[in-house]
Structure 1
Amino acid sequence: MLFLLNSWLSSFSNYGLCIATAATLHYFLLASFTWMGLEAVHMYFALVKVFNIYVPSYILKFCAAGWGIPLVIVSLVLVIDKDAYGSAGPIETAGMLKSTDQFCWLQNDVFFYVTVVAFVLLILLCNISVFVVVLIQIRHMKTNKRSTSSPNSLQDLRAVASLTVLLGLTWSMGFFSFGPGKVAMMYLFSIFNTLQGFFVFLFHCLMKENVRKQWKIHLCCGRFRHSDYSDWSHSVTMSGKKNHLVNTDSIASDETSTNRKVSDSSTGSAPNHHQRA
């Protein structure tokens, strides 16, 4: 929303407002990529480093990293040179795409390439590495299962697509927006990344049977509500309270198991005995 309102806020020609807008937009962009990187770390723990992995205050540490690292970077930019943020004038790209609107953003090329380009490139390289490792691990799990059923190429393709979206690998298209195909890559970049949230919802919520079941339990009413609503919800609630009283850090284990189930559902072949206790 801040990105969409940026040009309007810039039209006020208010120095402080423009710096605040640019810094906040910078923060949210870095936070988005930081959380994509943390998702890769979480997936690595869940599918590769399954055994003997216990991180105290798992969710709390992830939240501190996900929101704290971008805050440190933006704060350093403001301390070193707050004038690095400002309003950009009319720009023209590719000789045909022209913008006459002002835009509050980083004006210093050094800060831009260090805190945006280098940071994004580092996250994407790490996520690509985890993506390859996870696919190899899933492949090994399928081989070890020795299922008699024929391989489902559609499920494999869906798994690859869901992981690509979840890890934000579609953002890498921005680094290939040059040469004769620049305009086409810019369109693909805009389409895939503006719909990233929708694709995450599609692959990891709408297409998951267990998630749809939760919707029926908690959101639906009448004949659409799940038939086991009362008994199931009561047992889950009581179990959740007991687990919480025993150890609040069990959230990490629950998250890992949930992520495991999601990945198993995507591939349709991951064995259950690898889940953490």
Structure 2
Amino acid sequence: MKQNQNTIRTFMIICLVFILGQAATTENDKDFKMCGIWRHGNASRNLTYDLRPGCEDIRILGNEFTLSIQGSITAKCKQSATITLDSSPFQNQSNFCVFWEPLLDLLIVEVNGRNRTLCGPNGLQGNCCTNLSPDYQNGSKLYGIVNGSIKGDPISSNVMEIYTFRGESINCKKKFCDEASENPGGPNMIEEAVMKSSKIGRVDLPCVQGTIIEMEEGFTGHNITLPAPRSNQSNTIPSIYLPPCLKSEVRKKSKVVLTYFRERTAKTFFKQKKSPKSPESTLLDDIVGISVENEIITNLPEPVRIRFRHSALPSNFSNECVSWDTRKDKDVMWRSDGCETFNINAEETECCCKHLTYFAILVQVKQRATVRHLKALTFITAVGCAVSLVSCLVLFYWLCKKRKGKKNQSSLVHRGLVVAIFLLSLFFILTGTMANVGNETVCQITGTLLHYALLSALCWMAVEVFHAFLLVHQVFEIPPPSWLFYLGGFGLPALLVVILVSIGDIYGQRKIVPSDDVNNPYYMCWMLDNEKSRLVHYIVNMGLLVVVMSSGMVMLFYVVRKIMKMQVLKNRYGVFLSIWGITCLFGTTWGLSFLDFGPFSEATLFLFCIINSLQGFFLMLRHFIMKRIEKTHESSGSSSGSSKQLMLQTHEKS
């Protein structure tokens, strides 16, 4: 029985040592950590300590009754006392560790898993005693310290009565800043150290200035201007408003840490390892960090407001509030998600953000020419869409009237495309209005419907190409069922949109800033400007457009080639309009979006907006011209007319 008890006791000791060893691997923020096993007697045991300011040495002693910590290594702490230790679950030995953080003047002793703070944090220290290295040691035969180690590195496995460590006096703040600047998580290291300093008010480090605010019960919000560097009392210091909702109802008190990185230190601590939203973008000098003690703050009902002050930007520059969420991105990655930008005046920009992290201003150094004439492009597109709306209604009525009394699959396909273009024009006209007067949910719904209408229009163009191929080459004796076309034109886009909605964070309010008037951006309900939405745009939108355009170009080339071989080309005007109508029918005009580069990019963009916004009108015009040509040839009784009609209308006749 006794042997079993010894076996169990030995197993528990091994487990405890393993657990302490695992815990030790996570204690990377301690400047000094000495651990070991204290062998003692079975009588009552004490922890004694005698600590004084200075930088000489620290002695860790162990004997039959006492574990003692003595020495001069603190900056301000002067403490001495004796603590009676609880009965250990083991008879003859206890696990212990001594932790020393000179920057905080913090010394902690852990015995059998229980922490005791001998010197509490007392602000961030300037000159401190650090770099403690082993010096004098005195062995023992029975009682003392076994398996002593520093930060997991063994010192001695023998029984030692005394371990002595000598220190070195250095500028602790400078050393800490140097270490943090070399660490990818440097800003978080600084934030954590400032949080643990137990100081309220201004905090100065060579690399950062900060402020600690304590939120108590009844917190009604707080306005604060961040402290300026001692050497620079500039008027460009950011100011911050903390809303009342920042205070947790569960906690009686909460500390808020605000850190301010400026100029050189901002570039040092926030090295851009991935390209920002645009390679032509740059950050302003100031970066502000905000965090609440032991809390992750997101989706605030009232935003935190950070007002940055800067020199006036040129009129063709735009600025945007961005943040780096260290929980999402290990490397520095600036995103605009969760922040709104308000240009107070030429020298002030306010960021309203519903989460806490690091914030900055991203400046677009060189605006693309595609947004140089945003107001004119918007007006042209709106007028073109309005004309297409009316044209689609007229054409849809004509196609339905033509269908009476006979089944015509070509008319069915045409009607599907007309409905899709009608919806696309309608939601594009509404998107600007909904973005300015509707709430966030309404804008998300409008953006979703606009994307569905765009995908549906592209899919129906692909259906037109497929149907034309079937009719011209007579692949099947029995035409495919009508539901197959509806499934491709309306069903597939619906499936894609449902998947994107389930993913989330795709649709919402989108801001487009014109380079010639940065203070009057255009808002629309569409896909958000984030990585997820951009990925969807390139895979879904551009991928589908490439498929439609390439297949349409092949079919268009085939039709034009047939027309040019024909002998009857008297009505060149009708031939041109027919080819132009087929071009719109097959979606090849959307290929202009790939030509938006070089010196003709502005002309290409205007041409793209004019042609594609009037697509409904061009389709209506083509169908009426084809109807007129058909009647002309029927009345003349020309045998070649039917052949010409077949080629001009491509797939009007099955």
Which TM-score tier does this pair reach, normalised by the shorter chain? 0.5 to 0.7
Alignment partners' CA distance in 2, 1:118 and 1:263: 35
Structure 1 residues 200 and 212 mapped into 2: Cα distance closer, same or farther (>3 Å)? farther
The structural deviation recorded for 1:189 is 0.9
Alignment partners' CA distance in 2, 1:263 and 1:128: 21
Structure 1 residues 172 and 163 mapped into 2: Cα distance closer, same or farther (>3 Å)? same
The structural deviation recorded for 1:22 is 0.8
One-letter amino acid matched to 1:40: V
The structural deviation recorded for 1:154 is 4.2
Q: State the match for 2:265 in structure 1.
A: none
Structure 1 residues 54 and 12 mapped into 2: Cα distance closer, same or farther (>3 Å)? same
Q: State the match for 1:50 in structure 2.
A: 474
Question: Secondary structure in 2 aligned to 1:83?
Answer: coil
Alignment partners' CA distance in 2, 1:156 and 1:209: 12
Equivalent residues in 2 for 1:231-242, closer than 5 Å: none
Q: State the match for 1:26 in structure 2.
A: 451
Question: Secondary structure in 2 aligned to 1:104?
Answer: strand
Between structures 1 and 2, the one with greater helix share: 1
1:159–1:267 contact (8 Å) kept in structure 2: yes
Give a deviation string over 1:151-186, Cα, whole Å, max 9, x none.
664454333222112212111112112221111111
Alignment partners' CA distance in 2, 1:37 and 1:43: 10
- Within the candidate set 141, 148, 157, 2:576 is matched to 157
Equivalent residues in 2 for 1:78-89, closer than 5 Å: 78-80=501-503, 82-89=504-511
Alignment partners' CA distance in 1, 2:577 and 2:438: 47
Q: State the match for 2:527 in structure 1.
A: 106
Higher RCO, 1 vs 2 (CA within 8 Å, ≥6 residues apart): 1
Q: State the match for 1:219 in structure 2.
A: none
Alignment partners' CA distance in 1, 2:541 and 2:457: 12
Q: State the match for 1:65 in structure 2.
A: 488
Q: RMSD value over aligned CA atoms?
A: 3.0
Q: State the match for 2:289 in structure 1.
A: none
2:593 pairs with 1:174: yes
- Within the candidate set 580, 598, 622, 1:203 is matched to 622
Give a deviation string over 1:10-43, Cα, whole Å, max 9, x none.
1246222121111110000010111111111111
Give a deviation string over 1:202-253, Cα, whole Å, max 9, x none.
111245227879xxxxxxxxxxxxxxxxxxxxxxxxxxxxxxxxxxxxxxxx
Equivalent residues in 2 for 1:141-152, closer than 5 Å: 142=566
Question: Secondary structure in 2 aligned to 1:54?
Answer: coil
What is the TM-score normalised by the length of structure 2? 0.30
The structural deviation recorded for 1:73 is 0.9
Question: Secondary structure in 1 aligned to 2:505?
Answer: helix
Question: Secondary structure in 1 aligned to 2:525?
Answer: strand
Alignment partners' CA distance in 2, 1:52 and 1:86: 44
Equivalent residues in 2 for 1:254-273, closer than 5 Å: 264=645, 267=648
Q: State the match for 2:561 in structure 1.
A: 136
Structure 1 residues 56 and 4 mapped into 2: Cα distance closer, same or farther (>3 Å)? closer
One-letter amino acid matched to 1:125: S
Q: State the match for 1:40 in structure 2.
A: 465
Question: Secondary structure in 1 aligned to 2:474?
Answer: coil
The structural deviation recorded for 1:97 is 7.8
Q: State the match for 1:229 in structure 2.
A: none
2:443 pairs with 1:15: no
Question: Secondary structure in 1 aligned to 2:522?
Answer: coil
The structural deviation recorded for 1:192 is 1.0
1:18–1:87 contact (8 Å) kept in structure 2: yes
The structural deviation recorded for 1:138 is 4.5
One-letter amino acid matched to 1:34: C
One-letter amino acid matched to 1:76: I
Q: Which moved more, 1:180-189 or 1:202-211?
A: 202-211
Based on CA coordinates, which of the two structures has the bigger radius of gyration?
2
Gaps of 5+ in 2: 1-425, 633-641
The structural deviation recorded for 1:137 is 4.3
Structure 1 residues 100 and 83 mapped into 2: Cα distance closer, same or farther (>3 Å)? same
Alignment partners' CA distance in 2, 1:263 and 1:68: 35
Between structures 1 and 2, the one with greater strand share: 2
Structure 1 residues 11 and 172 mapped into 2: Cα distance closer, same or farther (>3 Å)? same
- Within the candidate set 120, 123, 127, 2:545 is matched to 120
One-letter amino acid matched to 1:15: E
Identity of aligned residues (%): 25
Q: State the match for 2:497 in structure 1.
A: 74
What is the TM-score normalised by the length of structure 1? 0.67
1:208–1:265 contact (8 Å) kept in structure 2: no
Structure 1 residues 83 and 132 mapped into 2: Cα distance closer, same or farther (>3 Å)? same
Alignment partners' CA distance in 2, 1:174 and 1:97: 24
The structural deviation recorded for 1:44 is 1.0
2:590–2:612 contact (8 Å) kept in structure 1: yes
One-letter amino acid matched to 2:459: T
1:204–1:262 contact (8 Å) kept in structure 2: no
> Runs of 4 or more off by more than 6 Å in structure 1?
210-213
